[in-house]
Structure 1
Amino acid sequence: MEAIQESHYYNSLPFLLKGLRWTAFITFAGLFIGFILGAIFGLGRLSKSKIISTLSTVYVEVVRGTPMLAQILFIYAGLTKGIIGFNIDAVTASITAIAINAGAYIAEIVRGAVYSIEKGQHEAGRAMGLTQRQTMRYIIWPQAFKRMIPPLGNQFVISLKDTSLLSVIAIPEIVYQGKQYYNITYSPFQTLVMVCLLYLVITIPTSLYLRRLERKLDV
């Protein structure tokens, strides 16, 4: 027991658990905003307005076509000095980066889910006297949202892992905390094993639950 308590596997845990709190906070905050962006731009891609559709497509393609790391640095350093003229703190920049990045992928999830609903559902809504907006709200969206749940869960796992890139702007998430610990103790192997295990403790149960949920929803 003493050998375990004196090992770096054990001693690194308090550092990593502090990082886990930041990882969880930024992931959930970023995905909450990202879902709003994804819903807006996903529906925007389906809009009959060429302007709205084009702007939504540009957002999705630009974000999906550039590295996440570049986006983080652009928001944290590029925007502050090059465009808006004042500093953005690292936490705000991190949530913004996760939200914008996840929003582009969620937009495709939303677009695909809505597009997958049979055209007869749209026609049924209009035949009942509902407007296009009411048809979307009461008939199409509830069915589409059910189909979004599994891929949204996958996006949660992806965004959770993407927070590891935030160490470049000194966000004290799991990887950053791990680096701080092994820089002091010179124990990179043991520490990084624990970093990976901590991610796996979150991602594996989440993935298993999503598979079970997908079978249950039959989507």
Structure 2
Amino acid sequence: MTNNPKKTLRITLPDAVTLAALAGVMGYVLYRAITGLNYHWHWESIPQYLIRYDAGEHAWRPGLLTLGLMTTLRLSIWSAVLATVAGVIMGLFRVSPSLFKRQLAGTYVGLIRNTPPLVLIFIFYFFIGDQIMSLLHVEDLIAGLPETTRTTLSWLFGPMNRFSQFLSAVLTLALFEGAYIAEIVRAGVQSVETGQWEAAAGQGLSRWQSLRHVVLPQALQRMLPALAGQFISIVKDSAIVSVISIEELTFQGQQIMTTTYMSFEVWITVFVMYFVLTFLCSLAVRRLELVLQRN
């Protein structure tokens, strides 16, 4: 039995020089930005857009940027769930023995990956919002719900008067990201050695049982880094739905900048909020990778 020594972080002299040079460059750029730009900074105005005190109700309320971040989270979570479902199904279709399933999945992936997401957003926005929602009388249905139900739904999907736009954005992001997840699933399944399929078949397992119990557990560990990157991409790509007035983080940043002209303060704050969100996602996925490796 051999002991695996823990890896220690070693910083060599070239590493230290490089880090010092980068720190110096960043410090100089920051200094020039503060002193050299013909711009008056107003960082003291930013906290009110993160959290504000409502004097009328004597309570603290989330600011516009925080509300936008909550909408971004809703968009990302729902889109990730639907994209995972669509991606896994289409990814498995891509490696199916059935020609029809392979053709169906290939058409979906090829069509979505070669269409700009902005075009998809407008198609779904006008088709779902103007046609499907009106045909199904969704707004009347929502208006007839009890107040407690509408409150719960607003926590899950945002303001109910914007539900059609929210659903259009979620479906667009889910279909778009699902095409890339499908390719990740396909590549992960095909990366598992043929001998694993043969061994499972030798044990009397059907193709579906082999896929579920033997192939997918091995493929998942290989797919996880790529899937993590795709989930983080969903968070970043959600900014594009601001074009249909979804009040997510980027839209709120645009609105605040338009009214206050605090371009740098607002967009730096939005950048930091996106970075913190995606960085936390990266840490969570890394933790999951370590758990799967131990198992």
| Paired residues, number | 215
Aligned residue in 2 for 1:7: 44
Aligned residue in 2 for 1:124: 199
CA–CA distance in 2 between the matches of 1:100 and 1:86? 22
Aligned residue in 1 for 2:37: none
Q: 2:70 aligns with which of 11, 21, 24?
A: 21
TM-score (norm 2): 0.67
Looking at CA atoms only, which structure, 1 or 2, has the larger radius of gyration? 2
1:160-183 CA distances to partner (integer Å, 9 max, x unpaired)? 011101111111100111112222
- Give the number of the structure whose residues are more often helix, by fraction: 1
Alignment of 1:207-218 (within 5 A): 207=282, 210=285
CA–CA distance in 2 between the matches of 1:45 and 1:83? 30
Alignment of 1:106-121 (within 5 A): 106-121=181-196
Q: Is the 8 A contact 2:86 2:182 kept in 1?
A: yes
Q: 1:70 aligns with which of 119, 126, 132?
A: 119
- Percent identical among aligned pairs is 35
The structure showing larger relative contact order (alpha-carbon pairs under 8 Å, at least 6 residues apart) is: 1
TM-score (norm 1): 0.88
Q: Which moved more, 1:118-127 or 1:150-159?
A: 150-159
Change (3 A) 1:179 1:5: closer
Once the 2 structures are TM-superposed, how far is the Cα of residue 94 of structure 1 from its aligned partner? 1.1
Gapped runs of 5+ residues in structure 2? 1-40, 51-62, 137-162
1:120-154 CA distances to partner (integer Å, 9 max, x unpaired)? 00000110011111111111111112222211111
Once the 2 structures are TM-superposed, how far is the Cα of residue 25 of structure 1 from its aligned partner? 0.9
Change (3 A) 1:181 1:28: same
Aligned residue in 1 for 2:180: 105
CA–CA distance in 1 between the matches of 2:135 and 2:126? 10
Change (3 A) 1:183 1:39: same
1:106-130 CA distances to partner (integer Å, 9 max, x unpaired)? 0001001000000000000110011
Q: Which moved more, 1:197-206 or 1:127-136?
A: 197-206
CA–CA distance in 2 between the matches of 1:84 and 1:18? 25
Residue type of the alignment partner of 1:11:
Q
Q: What SS class does the counterpart of residue 46 from structure 2 fall into?
A: helix
Gapped runs of 5+ residues in structure 1? none
Alignment of 1:1-219 (within 5 A): 7-13=44-50, 14-78=63-127, 86=135, 89-207=164-282, 210=285
Change (3 A) 1:122 1:110: same
Once the 2 structures are TM-superposed, how far is the Cα of residue 204 of structure 1 from its aligned partner? 3.0
Please give the root-mean-square deviation of Cα atoms over the aligned residues, in Å.
Answer: 2.5
